[in-house]
Structure 1
Amino acid sequence: MKLGLIGKPGAGKKTLFEALTKSDPDSGHKGDLRIAAIYVPDPRVDVLSAMYSPRKTIYAQIEYCLGRTAGDKDLQLKAVADCDALIQVVRNFPVPGMPDPSPYKDIAAMDEDLMLSDFVVIEKRLERIAADAKRGKKADAQEMALLDQVKQMIENGTPVRTQPEIATAPLLRGFSLLSAKPVLVLINNDEDDTALPAGPPPGGIDLMVVRGKLEHEISRMSDDEAAEFLKEFGIDEPAIHRALRRSYAMLGLISFFTVGEDEVRAWTIKKGALAPEAAGTIHSDMQKGFIRAEVVAYDALMAAGSYAEARKQGTVRLEGKTYEMADGDIVNIRFNV
């Protein structure tokens, strides 16, 4: 999963990128593309690792991409074209020499930029189809219908993501439409401000408040220092962890686990994926030769205390090719190739 950070200059994209990824400041390459992969915190992995004492413990990963933080806006958007979703950072704190923050207006302005970028892509494709038609090449009727729908939505000021069946249409996948991507908005507040901006928030937008400078400070601390700091200020967890979970939910992702003495590992799949697809996430041979999946729910394993006890209690079950995976499933794939 790859998430791209976007936003106006001065919004705090760089600060939040470094807080999310715990990467070092990179002032020497201002404006360059930055990509960092991080492990997704999951207390279930910690518990399973303590239970099995494996040689390796592997968390699910998420990749963050930060485009240009200065200069050409189009280059910033182009840098995130291949991302699965976008995180828009919106300034809600005063900066000397800059206008007063207007977070909700900034959200709307970014949507306009995303739609304008998509409009250019759609227009170029329609022009090419028209040119091909003059040479006798017949257009794909389904593609044309989708392109016309997208163009009409944009002309009406409606982001493509508001129509999921269009946004996820396979025929449109190659266009990397920006307004079709899910968006999580991070309202970047001052250190002592935890409230949403005044006024009604825009509809259809998933947003949450973060305090970028504070999160950046926490990300520089050791685990023990961070825990003490959070306790002192009555903070349950860093907002960055919540942003990770919201990103997962926004993309419709869930986690399942494989466990053993060699390795405890979290795997990421789309909600609704069937058991063979989950097997393919581990290895393509497992999907090709899938026979059965031995499954126990995480909560059932915790209640039993051990895999052997869960089996005695009958909560370990065999599932076939039509089984829809659930978040927290612990699986052992039976296959033959």
Structure 2
Amino acid sequence: MKLSIGIVGLPNVGKSTLFNALLKKQQALAANYPFATIEPNVGVVEVPDERLSILAKIVNTQKIVPAVIEFYDIAGLVRGASQGEGLGNKFLSHIREVAAIAHVVRLFEDMNVIHVEQQVDALRDIKTVETELILADLATLEKQKEPKTGSPKAASATYEVAKALSEQLNRGISARDAALTDEQKKAVKQLNLLTMKPVIYVFNVSESQLENHEETERRIQQIIEQCHAERSEASLANASAGRCRRSFAAAQDDIKTTPYLFLNAQLENDVLTFSPEEQKEFLLQYHLPETGLNRLIKKAYEILNLISFLTAGEKEVRAWTIEKGTLAPQAAGVIHTDFEKHFIKADVIPYPLFVEAGGWIKAREQGKVQTVGRDYIMQDGGVVEFKVGI
């Protein structure tokens, strides 16, 4: 499946600089000018997976095909974007095409890099972007007309959920914070609401903030807590009016589980010129176990509920991206649609056991390979051979 992330935020927060780092080359025009990104730059990035090179050695193949992730560098939003300010409408439409949002938030201070609001205020900036996304969703929901008598049930269901969400959005509560059932989520999925998309907050910090990582961590936690405190107040007001809301306990859980990371976007670019050994040593100086690319991709997989299964043969070693809970026939269909239709069974083995055995032949001899049927739930890192009746 295609994994796509839209990099959004106010102008001059480091979106294009981060995009350049993620692509490992200068594809975007990173300039100190609010609308330097006129069209969304799209880049395909390999998902780092050390397992693939090890598998390639075991099965003796030169061809390695990693999973990929698409990043969209979307021009900076500004206050009033939902009304067309700062080329806003055009770029809001681009966000609709992605699976998740990486919201870049500026924490660094630099007088040489202008801020569209004249001063750095992370909490205000987060609220500005989220408000514009909410307003854009409201415009979408307002287009929903009440179905005529005799219309399909699905149309009525979509309209009813849209009406309830409109009331919530008008109170500053995003669609993702709504207490919707699975059926209700299905009903509004076609509307492709911006505030329904999962968000990863990427805080762009200075070198000194990176060095003082514990203090920076505390500051970011405070910002996130403030964001959720304001949302909780709005949710309680919504509840008092008898409308759908999330529980206080759920709101507290959100604070703990909000996906975020912090990095210095410029350093992420600089480290690309280093050898793997130099890169590792450099990152450790800043208490970073790995690059921003790896951390962002892992966060993306986490919030989108994704895993990878692996195939290893003489022709190639490849990683395939699927959702958690995917059954074996549907996983086979990711490789080729005919594989799902003609699925018979699959041989599966966890990656560590495959490596330990040294390949398929030994793994089968040692009884480490499991043959599974149509009801098998795929696991992350499983090495698989599908048997199909074609």
TM-score (norm 1): 0.90
How many Å separate the matches in 2 of 1:221 and 1:168? 49
1:170 counterpart (155, 175, 186):
186
Amino acid at match of 1:240: L
3-state SS of the aligned residue for 1:107?
A: helix
Contact 1:160 1:167 in 2 (8 A): no
Q: What is the CA–CA distance in structure 2 between the aligned matches of 1:167 and 1:79, rounded to whole Å? A: 27
- After TM superposition, the runs of 4+ consecutive aligned structure 1 residues lying more than 6 A away are none
| 1:92-149 superposed Cα distances (whole Å, 9 cap, x missing partner) | 0113254442212322222211111100000012xxx24x64xx67362211222123
Matched with 2:11 is 9
Kindly, what percent of the aligned residue pairs are identical? Answer: 30
Which structure 1 segments of 5+ residues have no match?
none
Per-residue deviation, 1:13 = 0.4
Is the Cα contact below 8 Å between 1:254 and 1:269 reproduced in 2? Answer: yes
Q: Who is 1:101 aligned against? A: 120
**1:150 pairs with one of 156, 165, 179:** 165
Indicate yes or no: 2:308 matched with 1:255.
yes
> Could you say what secondary structure the match of 2:142 adopts?
helix
**1:41 maps to which residue?**
48
Which amino acid is the alignment partner of residue 120 of structure 2? P
- My pick for the range that moved more, 193-202 or 268-277, is 193-202
| Counterparts in 2 of 1:157 and 1:167: CA distance versus 1, 3 Å | farther
Deviation at 1:222, TM superposition (A): 5.1
Q: Distance in 1 between matches of 2:119 and 2:16?
A: 20
Aligned residues between the structures:
331
Q: Deviations over 1:158-213 (max 9, x none)?
A: 21122464698333233221000010010110023132336352343321111111
Q: 1:25 to 1:276 in 2, by over 3 A?
A: closer
Distance 1:21 1:165 in 2: 38
**Which consecutive residues of structure 2, in runs of 5 or more, have no partner in the other structure?**
78-85, 211-215, 229-253
Q: 1:299 aligns with which of 335, 352, 375?
A: 352
Q: Aligned pair 1:138/2:151, yes or no?
A: yes
- Tell me, yes or no, if the aligned pair for 1:52 and 1:259 is still in contact at 8 Å: yes
Q: CA RMSD in A?
A: 2.4
Matched letter for residue 168 of structure 2 = M
The corresponding residue for 2:58 is 51
- Partner deviation per Cα, 1:18-71 (whole Å, 9 max, x = no partner): 111123154397422200001100111121122222131000000001122483
- The one-letter amino acid of 1:11's match is V
CA separation of 1:80/1:167 partners in 2, compared to 1, >3 Å: closer, same or farther? Answer: farther
Deviations 1:228-250 (A, max 9, x none): 54466664321221111111111
**SS of residue paired to 2:172:** coil
User: Does 2:112 correspond to 1:112?
Assistant: no
CA distance in 2, matches of 1:82, 1:220: 32
State the one-letter code of the partner of 1:110: V
